[in-house]
């Protein structure tokens, strides 16, 4: 019976893979300058004038500069509003910049778009890894981890394969479709049972755990898993370290 249960955890795969779609949407930001930068520096620049080399460097780097501060904010939000809501915010942050790219008329709007997109990347880095680690059982996390790399490649290939053959606006529209697909699917996925236990929503945690488990599991299996999660949460709370404690201990 255990083998049947083990082989029918399709909802764990679906939930984790859907969350990982956010990585495809995030990857487009890193690659987007490749087919676009030469156009931005030309006389036909969509931002009204050719941009300089320095401005081009900012277009490339602003996304990366936003990742770390956004990841710090996301690390706070995953504990306050949950893993799912944090990733949904990431979806919005990954979609909105393409709207600015399409309708923006100057370099400063493009800067803002790139920075917001980088913030979305930071949210994905934190939210996706935590969510997948909590909804998937240990023996399938490695396989799911490889899909993260694959979907990053998918996002990159979309830009590299489509970018040279379409207009600036069409490429932005194509890139905007990825976060729409992600949010449209992920909104139906369950919140992490681990987080729900942590915020004392035990009944909802049991409900979501049933969704993520096989139909063959019984009440005892669910209760035992909830007990394991409660112990894990308790250990995490006991070993919790603040950022200040981490920094001062490191210096010591």
Q: Are residues 74 and 138 in the same domain?
A: yes
**Residue 2 is assigned to a structural domain of this protein:** no
pLDDT band of 45, cuts 50, 70, 90: very high
Write the pLDDT tens digit of every residue in 81-103.
Answer: 999 999 999 999 999 999 999 99
Same domain, 123 and 139: yes
Q: Residue 24 sits in a domain of what CATH number?
A: 1.20.1250.20
Is 90 exceeded by the pLDDT of residue 117?
yes
183, 225: one domain: no
User: Residue 183 in contact with residue 92, Cβ under 8 Å?
Assistant: yes
pLDDT for residue 25 is more than 70: yes
pLDDT tier, 216 (very low <50, low <70, confident <90, very high otherwise): low
More confident residue, 46 or 6: 46
Side-chain-facing half-sphere of 58: CA atoms under 13 Å: 12
Is residue 71 scored above 90 in pLDDT? yes
CB contact burial 148-163 (16+ within 10 A = b; e otherwise): beebbebbbebbeeeb
Q: Supply the DSSP symbol for 81.
A: T
Dihedral (Cα; 99, 112, 45, 26), 10-degree rounding: -60
* Contact criterion met (CB below 8 Å) for 35 and 27: no
Least confident of 138-152, 170-184, 198-212: 138-152
Computed over every residue of the chain, the mean pLDDT equals: 88
**CA neighbours closer than 13 Å in the CB half-sphere of residue 238:** 6
Do the Cβ atoms of 31 and 159 come closer than 8 Å?
yes
pLDDT given for residue 2 in this prediction: 33
Local confidence band at 240 (pLDDT 50, 70, 90 cut-offs): low
Question: Tokens for 47?
Answer: 């931002």
Is residue 76 in a domain?
A: yes
Into how many domains does the chain fold? 2
DSSP string for 87-115: HHHHHHHHHHHHHHHHH--SHHHHHHHHH
What residue numbers bound the domain in which 218 lies?
197-251
């Amino acid at each position: 019976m255990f083998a049947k249960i083990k082989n029918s955890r399709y909802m764990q795969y679906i939930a984790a893979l859907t969350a990982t779609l956010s990585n495809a949407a995030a990857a487009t930001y890193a690659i987007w300058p490749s087919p676009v930068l030469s156009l931005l520096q030309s006389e036909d620049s969509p931002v009204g004038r050719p941009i300089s080399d320095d401005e081009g460097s900012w277009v490339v780097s602003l996304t990366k500069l936003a990742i770390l501060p956004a990841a710090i904010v996301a690390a706070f939000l995953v504990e306050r509003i949950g893993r799912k809501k944090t990733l949904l915010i990431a979806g919005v942050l990954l979609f909105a910049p393409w709207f600015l790219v399409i309708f923006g008329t100057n370099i400063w709007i493009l800067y803002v778009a790139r920075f917001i997109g980088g913030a979305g990347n930071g949210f994905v880095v934190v939210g996706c890894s935590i969510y997948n680690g909590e909804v998937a059982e240990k023996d399938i996390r490695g396989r799911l981890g490889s899909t993260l790399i694959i979907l990053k490649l998918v996002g990159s290939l979309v830009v590299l394969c489509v970018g040279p053959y379409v207009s600036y606006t069409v490429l932005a529209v194509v890139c905007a479709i990825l976060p729409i697909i992600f949010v449209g699917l992920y909104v139906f996925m369950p919140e992490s049972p681990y987080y729900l236990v942590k915020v004392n929503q035990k009944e909802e945690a049991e409900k979501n755990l049933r969704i993520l488990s096989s139909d063959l599991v019984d009440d005892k299996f669910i209760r035992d898993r909830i007990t394991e999660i409660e112990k894990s949460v308790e250990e995490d709370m006991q070993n919790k370290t603040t950022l200040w404690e981490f920094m001062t201990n490191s210096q010591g």
